[in-house]
Amino acid sequence: MSPMPSQSRPAGLAGLRHIALRVRDMAKARSFYQDLLGMRVVWEPDPDNVYLSSGMDNLALHTAKLEATDAQRLDHLGFILETRESVDAWQRYFERNGCAILKPTKDHRDGSRSFYVADPDGNPVQMLYEPNLSPSRKTKVERRKR
């Protein structure tokens, strides 16, 4: 059972916006997230560490210095897509670029739609349309006007 908070929750939590991954090949991992997903480098303090963003998040890639017995404990990470239709387009895009599709596109009971692709280290990446998180049509129209 989860512990119950002993006091009221403080304000200010804006959601999960940062993930850090240990990667075996920095060049391949960087290319996947930068070239295929379009994230931009926001900080690269040294060759073993790079921080990327899509504008609403922060992904840290750190060169793995794992022992043979160490295991990655990440289940998956996810990127939010704007529309249900974009899920299919992204799956085709990754397939054309030789990426392994781990789980093909699926509709979920909550109205979301997603698929899973492997990054170069085999980390599962969920590409997800989630009606409660994905930008609304109105938001997209407002962004185009700016």
> 45: pLDDT confidence band, cut at 50, 70 and 90?
very high
- The model carries a pTM of 0.76
Does domain 75-136 fall into CATH 3.10.180.10?
yes
Do the domains spanning 17-65 and 75-136 agree at the CATH topology level?
Answer: yes
- Taking CA atoms, 14 is separated from 9, 57, 83, in Å, by 13, 11, 22
> Tens of pLDDT along 59-98?
999 998 766 556 666 879 999 999 999 999 999 999 999 9
For domain 17-65, give the fold: 2,3-Dihydroxybiphenyl 1,2-Dioxygenase; domain 1 (3.10.180)
> 44: pLDDT confidence band, cut at 50, 70 and 90?
very high
> Tens of pLDDT along 2-39?
566 667 776 777 777 899 998 989 999 999 999 999 99
